[in-house]
Every structure is written in C-alpha cells, then in structure tokens.
A = this chain, B = another copy of it.
C-alpha cells in the first residue's frame, strides 16, 4: 500500500536535506546548538570558512527559520546568532546522522573494497 506513495514520501526527506545541505551548515548547527555565538566567534571556530560563506549559510538558515539573528545597535556592531526551536530539533536529528556515521565507519572497516 505504500509502493506508489513512497516517492512523495521520500521526497520530503529532500526538504530536510535542503536545510542541511551546504558545506558548513552541519558545523554551524552543531556550534549554535551549544550556545549563542557572535559572527566573528563563529569565524574563529571555523578557521577555514570565508566571511562570505558564513554570511550566506547563516542567512539561508535564518530564512529557513533555523537561526535567529539579533543585532545590537552599538559600535562596533554586534550580531548574535542562536538556534530557533526548529533549528534545535534539526540539530538533534543531525546527532542521529552522527551516530550513524560513526557506526558506519566502524562497521565498514573490514570491507573488501575499502
């Protein structure tokens, strides 16, 4: 009874994957799930990311409702990023992906074509 509807069903996974797809999103999600960070703090946590990419990924996640952006009207500028409730739930899901990843790496150590 699920053979025909499966395609639609599976496609909703791509909605979720779209929220995470992006080279730095999983990492950002991971950090922000711990605490609120300022823009340049995130930069320091991820030395390899460029300002452009950090801005883009944060903006995308904000648009997707995962991240909350708070601007303080001070000089020098201060902007804080935190996860929304949805973002936190997605971060939880990401943890499950981590668990699978760890298990996968373990269970495929004795693979024949590794």
Binding site for B on A (CB under 8 A): 2-3, 6-7, 9-17, 19-21, 26-27, 29-31, 34, 45, 63, 65, 86, 89-90, 93-98, 100-102, 104-105, 107-108, 111, 113
25 A–B contacts, CB within 8 A, in A order: A6-B31, A6-B34, A7-B27, A9-B30, A10-B27, A10-B94, A10-B98, A11-B27, A12-B97, A12-B98, A12-B101, A12-B102, A13-B26, A13-B94, A13-B95, A13-B97, A13-B98, A13-B101, A16-B97, A17-B17, A63-B113, A65-B111, A65-B113, A93-B96, A93-B97
Interface of A is mostly: helix
- Distance between Cα atoms of A26 and B97 in the complex (Å): 14
- Distance between Cα atoms of A109 and B94 in the complex (Å): 23
- Distance between Cα atoms of A20 and B80 in the complex (Å): 32
